[in-house]
A and B are shown apart, each in its own frame.
Chain A
């Protein structure tokens, strides 16, 4: 043994030990547990929410999503950094908004990037879209908003007959043509590809736009049904009856207490608290009073019960 260990353990009785044997036995036990659980229970694999499924099964929700984005009402439209320049909307704490320090690194304009640009590509295949796009872009912003408001109100009373969305007649301008084209894009299974295509085609690894498209209401309602929403402690859930990230319980808990439970800065507040707790634990060895907690809790008496009982009985300590 090293001089350091010899000095530290001087006078302490030793017992025979086999490190590798112990590690191999523990490995075998853990492996058996894991293999049994994997064989019997499998793992969660709930399918993704695809635009094609939404377009076919919930076409009205699909159209509402598209119209909301085009009207500039998606949650990303004025999100702030890293997506838009709306710096006042970045989460802040103690008058600091870390997102603003690094600016807009992933520039997004949802109305343009999620709706109008994909439609511009479709227009090559469909002349009606070309005309509708020109009419829409030639109109004033007020006129565009009037069409979209009327269209979205009409969607509330829309019906689906034989897979076709029927909306009450009204003055919606070119909006129905644009939205029907978006719906057709979804039904064809081409929406994600149209959103995520980048300059490095055919390679793709960044799915920011297609993931953001349905994040507000559609994904949210699916998550709600699967007990995955924030209100349902979704941070530490998996789909189905599987244990999730239960180790995030302290973090998830913070979202259910003031001020985080009713704050537009909940994320940065929760992260700040977790960071402070982590730093506290990191420095626990030198934090007065708290570093003596284990002595008062006396759980160590249980862990070393053999040692203390041996000493109490006046034994030599030899195992």
Chain B
């Protein structure tokens, strides 16, 4: 068995370039509601770039440098933009019942991404090394401990918190988003409600 051959066939079958990078779209894709997914991706890209710069210069940089403080502000507002876009994206996909026509995997992957993103947001607060993180760390520890996670994740261990925030959780988010986009492009945008309803599930 040639694994490369198999992978090539799988991609050709599921995600040819015409689907991955489309130059035409169904006429019903004609609403601003379709832009929230792209906005979430854009905010995620900004989060990764600004977070990457903050990581290179270290966790204390934004306290002592004007440039660092500005990059920290960019990262902060990118996070706000990310969750605002994501909330709007999830709401519109709910109102579209976008899981119809066997698109439940896309829905599930999107929700899992939101769940991991919330945890990434928490570790972001804990990484700020200011009073917000000082207070959040002792408050959040009770929540983690209550469900037994305190044995594995200590909110007051900055080394663990930052590693999760800058490496592990972004990697998981990028992986989930990658899978989400694979199914989005493979299956195409779901038909409007009322179209082929007999195949809706």
**Residues of A at under 8 Å CB distance from B?**
1-5, 8-9, 12-20, 22-23, 26-27, 29-31, 33-35, 37-39, 41-49, 79, 81-82, 90-91, 98-99, 101-103, 105-106, 205-208, 211-212, 215, 219, 222-223, 226, 228, 230, 234-235, 238-239, 242-243, 245-248, 265, 267-268, 270-271, 278, 281-282, 284-286, 291-292, 294-295, 297, 299-300, 303-308, 310, 317-319
Is residue B48 contacting chain A, with contact meaning CB distance below 8 A? Answer: no
CB within 8 A of A295: which of B62, B78, B125, B193? B193
Is residue B9 contacting chain A, with contact meaning CB distance below 8 A? Answer: no
> What are 25 contact pairs spanning A and B, CB under 8 A?
A2-B13, A2-B14, A8-B187, A12-B26, A15-B29, A27-B46, A30-B39, A34-B78, A37-B73, A41-B73, A42-B70, A44-B132, A46-B130, A81-B151, A98-B147, A219-B138, A222-B131, A223-B135, A247-B121, A286-B201, A294-B95, A294-B97, A306-B28, A306-B31, A308-B192
**B27→A45 contact, CB < 8 A:** no
Q: How many A-B residue pairs have CB under 8 A?
A: 281
List A contacts of B8 (CB < 8 A): none
CB within 8 A of A307: which of B30, B80, B85, B99? B30
**A207→B157 contact, CB < 8 A:** yes
Known: A38-B77, A303-B33. A247 touches B83 (CB 8 A): yes
CA distance A300 to B33 in the complex (A): 10
List A contacts of B80 (CB < 8 A): 37, 243
List B contacts of A29 (CB < 8 A): 39, 42
CB within 8 A of A26: which of B28, B39, B148, B188? B39
CB within 8 A of B73: which of A20, A42, A49, A306? A42
CB within 8 A of A48: which of B24, B130, B157? B130
CA distance A48 to B29 in the complex (A): 49
**B96→A9 contact, CB < 8 A:** no
B:18-48 near A, CB below 8 Å: 18-19, 21-31, 33, 35, 38-39, 41-43, 45-46
List B contacts of A270 (CB < 8 A): 143
Is residue B55 contacting chain A, with contact meaning CB distance below 8 A? Answer: no
Interface bits B185-201 vs A (CB < 8 Å: 1, else 0): 01110011110000001
**B30→A34 contact, CB < 8 A:** no
Interface bits B126-158 vs A (CB < 8 Å: 1, else 0): 001111101101110011011110111010111
**B111→A98 contact, CB < 8 A:** no
List B contacts of A22 (CB < 8 A): 35, 38
**B18→A265 contact, CB < 8 A:** no
Known: A2-B19, A268-B146. A37 touches B77 (CB 8 A): yes
List A contacts of B83 (CB < 8 A): 246-247
**B18→A284 contact, CB < 8 A:** no
A19, A45, A242, A268, most chain B CB atoms within 10 A: A45
What's the minimum C-beta distance from A81 to chain B, rounded to whole angstroms? 7
Given contacts A12-B191, A48-B129, A102-B152, 19 further A-B contacts (CB under 8 A): A4-B14, A15-B26, A15-B27, A17-B22, A23-B42, A26-B41, A27-B38, A44-B128, A49-B131, A79-B145, A82-B150, A98-B147, A105-B150, A205-B157, A206-B156, A278-B111, A282-B111, A294-B96, A307-B30
What's the minimum C-beta distance from A32 to chain B, rounded to whole angstroms? 11
Known: A238-B132, A245-B121. A206 touches B46 (CB 8 A): no
CA distance A297 to B85 in the complex (A): 22
**Residues of B at under 8 Å CB distance from A?**
13-16, 18-19, 21-31, 33, 35, 38-39, 41-43, 45-46, 62-63, 69-70, 72-78, 80-81, 83, 85, 87, 92, 94-97, 99-101, 104, 107-108, 111-112, 115, 118, 121-122, 125, 128-132, 134-135, 137-139, 142-143, 145-148, 150-152, 154, 156-160, 186-188, 191-194, 201
**B146→A294 contact, CB < 8 A:** no
CB within 8 A of B72: which of A43, A238, A305, A308? A43
CA distance A47 to B115 in the complex (A): 29
Known: A19-B21, A26-B42, A91-B145. A294 touches B94 (CB 8 A): yes
List A contacts of B63 (CB < 8 A): 45
**B111→A14 contact, CB < 8 A:** no
**B192→A284 contact, CB < 8 A:** no
**A42→B69 contact, CB < 8 A:** yes
CA distance A19 to B129 in the complex (A): 40
CA distance A307 to B81 in the complex (A): 29
**B130→A307 contact, CB < 8 A:** no
**A9→B132 contact, CB < 8 A:** no
CA distance A210 to B28 in the complex (A): 58
Residue of A whose beta carbon sits closest to that of B35: A26
